[in-house]
Structure 1
Amino acid sequence: MQLVDHDTFIKRLSTLFESCKDQGSIWITHKRLSYDKEDVAMKTGVGVEDPRSYPCLLRVSDGDKVKFSTTVNSTELLKFHQIYGALLKSSMTTLRKRDKKREKQRAEEAAARKKKLSEPVVVDGSKRGSGRRKRQRQIKAALKQQKTLGKIKAKEEAKATAKMTAEVV
């Protein structure tokens, strides 16, 4: 991993975006830079601000060959993020768009399943004779529907109790 200054970082990142425009991926990592054994105790006290300032570490990799990083101090962060944000906005034009047609289709299927569950299964036909198999299938479907509705109700109750306990805590 090569540590570079801000201008070099921006230039190399823009060339990396250009090289990976047609094919490839780029991994960008942001994190607070911490020093070994110095940051073990992060809390200084209740209501007391930490006098230390921590720089931000940005790493970029294409997965194989290209790996570089830079550190940005808190005083330079706003200026750097303006340039960095503009570069990201201009470079991320080739992202795949959401497949709204598929999402709409799945939502419609879910609505149809919900509607089917809300309608009760009508059991008709004779107990013996020509309509017996039809009646047995209807009874089986009604039992399956009741079981599914019971599971849904149990899930909703579990969510409600989890929400109640989260509000209490």
Structure 2
Amino acid sequence: MVLLENDSFLTELTRLFQKCRTSGSVAITLKKYDGRTKPVPRKGHPGNYEPADNKCLLRASDGKKKISTVVSLQHHAYSNLLRAHMDGLKKKDKKSKSKKTKATQ
């Protein structure tokens, strides 16, 4: 997995979206990032760990290529980019769910 700078991550993410527009998908994960690269020490062992404030680890993958970056929570460019490319989502069909439950009873 490649850890990129914020600007280069945005351009690579746009390329992934364009490449997977016709076929394929892009998986995006977002989780809180506290700045640690090593595990937390056990009890009784001193640790000099100071958490980073309000950071998120953003990962994207198309199955072949994986990219990631660390983002502060004040950046809004990522949310705008994601909203622009989420037009291919399908709505949940409520009728098929109710038919399956009736058929099993």
TM over 0.5: yes
After TM superposition, the runs of 4+ consecutive aligned structure 1 residues lying more than 6 A away are none
State the alpha-carbon separation in 1 of the partners of residues 92 and 11 from structure 2: 30
The alpha-carbon deviation at position 27 of structure 1 amounts to: 2.0
Partner Cα distance (2:97, 2:37) in 1: 45
Specify the alignment match of 1:40 in structure 2.
41
**Percent of aligned pairs with the same amino acid:** 37
Note if contact 2:29-2:60 (Cα within 8 Å) is conserved in structure 1. yes
Instruction: Note if contact 2:61-2:67 (Cα within 8 Å) is conserved in structure 1.
Output: yes
Letter in 2 for 1:87: L
Deviation at 1:23, TM superposition (A): 1.2
Q: Which runs of 5+ in 1 are unaligned?
A: 42-49, 114-169
Tell which structure's C-alpha radius of gyration is larger: 1
Compute the TM-score of the two structures, normalised by the length of structure 2: 0.71
Which consecutive unaligned segments of at least 5 residues does structure 2 have? 43-48
Q: List per-residue Cα deviations over 1:25-69 (Å, max 9, x = no partner).
A: 2222223242214x336xxxxxxxx953254222211111x2211
Q: Which structure shows the bigger proportion of residues in strand conformation? A: 2
Offset of residue 91 of structure 1? 0.6
Q: Which residue of 1 aligns with 2:83?
A: 89
Distance in 1, Cα, partners of 2:30 & 2:74: 15
Hey, what's the Cα distance between the residues in 2 that align with 1:77 and 1:106?
42
CA–CA distance in structure 1, aligned partners of residues 98 and 91 of structure 2: 14
Q: Does 1:28 align with 2:22?
A: no
Structure 2 counterpart SS, 1:7: helix
Identify the residue that residue 17 of structure 1 maps to in structure 2: 17
Paired letter, 2:38: D
Question: What does the per-residue CA deviation read over 1:60-80, in whole Å, with 9 as the maximum and x for residues that have no partner?
Answer: 11111x2211112xxx3222x
2:51 aligned residue: 52
Distance 1:57 1:96, change over 3 A: same
Aligned residues: 96
Q: How does 1:1-169 map to 2 (within 5 A)?
A: 1-31=1-31, 32=33, 33-37=35-39, 39-40=40-41, 52-53=51-52, 55-64=55-64, 66-72=65-71, 76-79=72-75, 82-106=76-100, 109=102, 113=105
Bigger RCO of structures 1 and 2 (CA < 8 A, at least 6 apart): 2
